[in-house]
């Protein structure tokens, strides 16, 4: 959206646009809560079925199906109302695959750095008896259950999150200004991860993926990078303590390759155009009632991860 068009949009119209996104997130939250309570009601009815199959695998399959429905359908409906052609989210990338590979390496290095910082911060806070609950990937049980859990973490979540944040949100906010779109989509992305200590790292990862999406005019590179990052997280959990040196060696290799990629890309700058005053947009963003409620709801969920 150009400056000329922005000047014709009233604050009320901006808030209406933001409220639409906020309401969609609240619908996702309501559906997730409803699905959780609904499943608890269905468990007694499913017990005979669970006795004949691998229960962990069955529950993992149900989680994948519910995740796809709860996360994708509300935002697909919002995109349809706003006449967004979601098929264009996956349009032809404006770049080469070598560029994507270099950005994958940079993303992995960034994720390792942020994970290290979070680890140090968690250690420091633990000295004051402040800890955070975190969702651990289920890697126990029979192989089908483990595979489905890995698929959910490393494939389903990245696809859904990129569709929502770098697809619907980034394009919706991008009509008003790219700087603002990066900030708003990354802020929402960081809060949706449900862990207070991961808010800041998730924000930086979200901003990185948003810029990549703008660079290639497609969410496919961001999906690939996101999958690689989540696979890296899974791999870190799989490595036994006695082989921790493998993690150190892999970190050195990834940092070295990422540094080479950064040097190669020093002349390939990503231009992020500033189409409107981002401060005005941010002000109206935080004055939108649905956005405020969304931030409060998901912020409380993050705070609940705090253990004193």
- What HEC string does the chain produce? CCHHHHCCCCHHHHHHHHHHHHHHHHHHHHHHHHHHHHHHHHHHHHHHHHCCCCHHHHHHHHHHHHHHHHHHHHHHHHHHHCCCCHHHHHCCCCCCHHHHHHHHHHHHHHHHHHHHHHHHHHHHHHCCCCEECCCCCCCCCCHHHHHHHHHHHHHHHHHHHHHHHHHHHHHHHHCCCHHHHHHHHHHHHHHCCCCHHHHHHHHHHHHHHHHHHHHHCCCHHHHHHHHHHHHHHHHHHHCCHHHHHHHHHHHHHHHHHHHHHHHHCCCCCCCCCCCCCHHHHHHHHCCCHHHHHHHHHHHHHHHCCEEC
What domain count does the chain have?
1
Domain-embedded: residue 2: no
pLDDT (0 to 100) of residue 1:
37
Give the model's confidence band at 275: pLDDT under 50 very low, under 70 low, under 90 confident, else very high: low
Domain-embedded: residue 93: yes
pLDDT (0 to 100) of residue 273:
60
Give the model's confidence band at 10: pLDDT under 50 very low, under 70 low, under 90 confident, else very high: confident
Query: 161 vs 122, which has greater pLDDT?
Result: 161
Domain that holds residue 182: 7-307
Domain-embedded: residue 52: yes
Give the model's confidence band at 266: pLDDT under 50 very low, under 70 low, under 90 confident, else very high: low
Mean pLDDT for the stretch of residues 146-154: 91
Domain-embedded: residue 277: yes
Q: What is the pTM of this model?
A: 0.91
Percentage, residues of the chain above pLDDT 90: 48
Domain-embedded: residue 1: no
Domain-embedded: residue 241: yes
Give the model's confidence band at 5: pLDDT under 50 very low, under 70 low, under 90 confident, else very high: very low
């Amino acid at each position: 959206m150009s400056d000329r068009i922005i000047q014709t949009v009233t604050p009320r119209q901006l808030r209406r646009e933001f409220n639409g996104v906020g309401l969609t997130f609240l619908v996702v939250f309501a559906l997730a809560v409803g699905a959780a309570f609904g499943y608890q009601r269905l468990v007694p009815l499913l017990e005979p079925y669970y006795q004949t199959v691998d229960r962990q695998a069955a529950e993992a399959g149900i989680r994948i199906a519910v995740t796809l429905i709860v996360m994708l359908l509300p935002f697909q409906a919002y995109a349809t109302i706003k006449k967004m052609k979601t098929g264009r989210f996956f349009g032809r990338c404006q770049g080469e695959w070598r560029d994507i590979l270099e950005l994958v390496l940079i993303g992995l290095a960034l994720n390792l750095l942020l994970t290290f910082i979070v680890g140090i911060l968690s250690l420091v806070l633990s000295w004051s008896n402040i800890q955070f609950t975190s969702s651990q990937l289920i890697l126990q049980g029979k192989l089908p259950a483990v595979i489905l859990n890995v698929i959910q973490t490393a494939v389903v979540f990245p696809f859904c999150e990129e569709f929502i944040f770098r697809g619907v949100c980034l394009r919706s906010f991008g009509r008003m200004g790219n700087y603002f779109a990066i900030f708003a989509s990354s802020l929402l992305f960081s809060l949706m991860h449900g862990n207070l200590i991961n808010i800041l790292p998730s924000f930086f990862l979200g901003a990185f993926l948003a810029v990549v999406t703008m660079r290639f005019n497609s969410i496919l590179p961001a999906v690939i990078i996101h999958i690689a990052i989540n696979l890296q997280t899974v791999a870190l959990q799989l490595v036994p303590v006695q082989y921790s040196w493998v993690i150190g060696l892999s970190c050195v290799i990834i940092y070295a390759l990422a540094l080479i990629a950064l040097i190669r890309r020093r002349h390939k700058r990503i231009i992020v155009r500033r189409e409107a005053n981002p401060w005005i947009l941010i002000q109206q963003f935080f004055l939108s009632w649905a956005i405020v409620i969304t931030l409060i709801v998901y912020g409380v969920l993050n705070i609940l991860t705090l253990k004193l």
